[in-house]
Amino acid sequence: MNKLRSWLLRFGGLFRKQRRDRDFSAEMDSHLQMHIEDNLRAGMSPAEARRQALIKLGGIEQTKESVRDGRSLPILEMLLQDTRYGVRMLRKNPGFTAVVVLTLALGVGANAAIFSVVHAVLLKPLPYPESHRLVMVWEKVFLPNYQNDENNPSPGNFSDWKNQNTVFENIGAYRNRSFNLTGSGEPVRVEGEQVSASLFSVLQLNAAIGRVFTAEDDQPAGQHVVVMSDGLWKSRFGSDAQILGTTILLDGESYAVVGVMPPAFHFPDPDDQLWVPIALTPQDLANHGSHNLLVTARLKQLVTAAQAQGELNRIAQHLTELYPDTNTGVKANVVPLFEEIAGPVRPVLVTLFGAVGFVLLMVCANVASLLLGRASARHREIGIRIALGAGRTRILRQRAARRIGLRARSSVCPMGNPRAQTAEPAAHPTPGRNPGRRFGFCLQPGDFSSCGLYFRRAARASCCARQRQ
C-alpha cells in the first residue's frame, strides 16, 4: 500500500511542475541565504560566505535535480520530453514529414486492407463448434464423356452414405429454393433452403428463439414448418416476440414458424432467410440418377478426411455393383468445409498478400533512405549532444519518439487507416464472418539503420568537439 501511494504521489509530481519548481527554488534560496548570513556573522567575506554556503548545500542545481527525480517519475518525464521534442521536429520540417507520412500510409494501408481479407478468409476459423471436423461430400464422376470431382450427390447416394458409413458423427443434405412470401405485408421473393433435419445437428447450432427441425418434421407427411433468419424476423415481422406458431404463406402454402436462427446465421449462403424440411420421399431416397443435393457431414472424433474418403469409396464401389446403370464411374470426394470455401481463392490471396508485402519493403527502403538523409544533416547536432553528456539511450529514445510520431500520423491518414478503407468484402459465403484484427502501423528497418548511422557520425563529431576543446 505504501509503494502504491508513493507511486501515485510521484505520478502526481508530473503535473503542476512549474509551480512546484518555483516553490522549491524559493525554499532553496531561503536556505542559501540563511547559510550565507550565518557565515557572515562568523566573520567571512561575502564571497567566501556564499561559497561555503553552496558547498554545505551540495550545489543548488544538483540538489534541485535530485529532488525532482525523487518526487516524480524520471523515465515517464523524459518520455514526455522526448515526445514533445519529436512533435516539434516534425512541425519544423513539414515537407519531410508529409513525404514520409504519405509513403508509410501507402504501404501500411495496402497491407492492412489485404491482411483484413486474408485473415477473414484464410486464417479465421468458420463460426461453428469444432469447424475443422466439418466436410463437404461430393460425387467424383469419371466417365468417358463426363468428369467432375465435385458433382452434386443424388438422394439415393446420400441415403446410402448416411446409413452405411461409420466415420461421420452426422450427415445432412440441403438444396436451394426460392419462395414467394405472402400473407403479411407486400409479397416478396426470398431465398431459402430445403434442409434435412440432421443438418443443424451437423453444424451443432440451435435456434435463438424456438427450435430447429426434428425427424418428425422431416417426413413427407409431416407438418409444414419453417425456421426463419433473424434479419427476416426483424424486417418483415418487427421482431414479434409471439412469432412462434405464426402461420406464413410460402408459394401459397401455409407454414408454421417454429424457430428463429441467431443473427449471424445464414447457412449456406449469406442471402438465405428461410429453411424448410427437405422431406425426401422413399422414392427420392431410392433415386440414384437425379443429382440435386448438397451434402455436409461432421467427422467423428479422431477421424480424418482421408479415412472418411477411403470408407466412402468402398461404399461407392459397393453401390456400383448394386446400381451399375447410375453409379458406374461414381466415387466419393470428401473435402474439408474450410478448404471448400477458401480453397479457390487461396492462391490469389496469397499472391496478392506477397505483392503488397513487397510494396511494404519498397516503402521501408524509401523511408530508410529519407531518414538516412536526415541523419546526414543532423550528425553535428547529435555529436554536440553526446559531447554535452547525452547518452545513446536518450538519443535513441528521441529517435523513437519521432518514429512513433510519423507512424501515428500515417496511421490516421486515409490511406494508412484501415477503417478508412473501402467496405470489406464478405469473408466466406457462410454465416457469421466478421473480419477483425488490423494493423495501424509497424516497425520500419529505417529505425535501426538510421540510428546506427547517427551514432557513428555523432561519435566522430563528439571526438572532433573534444579535440577542439
Looking at the fold, whether 49 and 105 belong to one and the same domain comes out as no
Looking at the fold, whether 268 and 411 belong to one and the same domain comes out as no
Looking at the fold, whether 192 and 270 belong to one and the same domain comes out as yes
Q: What is the pLDDT along the chain (469 residues), one digit of tens a residue?
A: 566 666 565 556 556 667 777 777 787 788 888 888 888 888 888 888 888 888 887 766 666 666 666 666 666 667 777 777 777 777 887 887 788 888 888 888 888 888 888 887 788 888 899 999 999 999 999 999 999 999 999 999 999 999 999 999 999 999 999 999 987 778 999 999 999 999 999 999 999 999 999 999 999 988 899 999 999 999 999 999 999 999 999 999 999 999 999 998 988 888 999 999 999 999 999 999 999 999 999 999 999 999 999 999 999 999 999 999 999 999 999 999 988 888 778 888 888 888 888 888 888 888 888 877 776 767 777 777 777 766 777 677 666 766 666 656 555 655 455 444 444 444 444 433 333 333 333 344 444 444 444 444 444 444 444 444 4
How many residues comprise the chain?
469
433, 263 in Cβ contact below 8 A? no
Domain termination site, one of 280, 309, 344: 344
What is the domain extent for residue 47?
A: 2-71
Domain termination site, one of 35, 52, 71: 71
Looking at the fold, whether 41 and 85 belong to one and the same domain comes out as no
Handedness of CA 301, 305, 310, 314 (dihedral sign): positive
Query: What's the structural domain count of the chain?
Result: 3
Looking at the fold, whether 288 and 171 belong to one and the same domain comes out as yes
Beta bridge partners of 266: none
| DSSP state, residue 427 | S
Domain termination site, one of 314, 344, 374: 344
Looking at the fold, whether 44 and 113 belong to one and the same domain comes out as no
pLDDT of residue 217: 94
pLDDT of residue 458: 42
469 Cβ neighbours under 8 A, 6+ residues apart: none
pLDDT of residue 207: 95
Looking at the fold, whether 195 and 322 belong to one and the same domain comes out as yes
Among 164, 187, 131, 48, which residue's Cα sits nearest to residue 337?
A: 131
Which cell is 251 given?
408459394
Burial-class residue 215 by CB neighbours within 10 Å (0-12, 13-18, 19+).
exposed
pLDDT of residue 226: 96
Looking at the fold, whether 118 and 232 belong to one and the same domain comes out as no
pLDDT of residue 142: 92
H/E element, 163: helix 155-164
CA separation (Å) from 276 to 192, 202, 254, 462?
A: 8, 16, 12, 82
Return d(Cα 363, Cα 354) in angstroms, integer. Answer: 14
Looking at the fold, whether 158 and 249 belong to one and the same domain comes out as yes
pLDDT of residue 454: 40
pLDDT of residue 8: 61
Looking at the fold, whether 58 and 200 belong to one and the same domain comes out as no
pLDDT of residue 449: 42
332, 140 in Cβ contact below 8 A? yes
Looking at the fold, whether 36 and 54 belong to one and the same domain comes out as yes
Looking at the fold, whether 17 and 92 belong to one and the same domain comes out as no
Note the pTM of the prediction, 2 decimals. 0.63
pLDDT of residue 14: 58
pLDDT of residue 264: 85
pLDDT of residue 29: 81
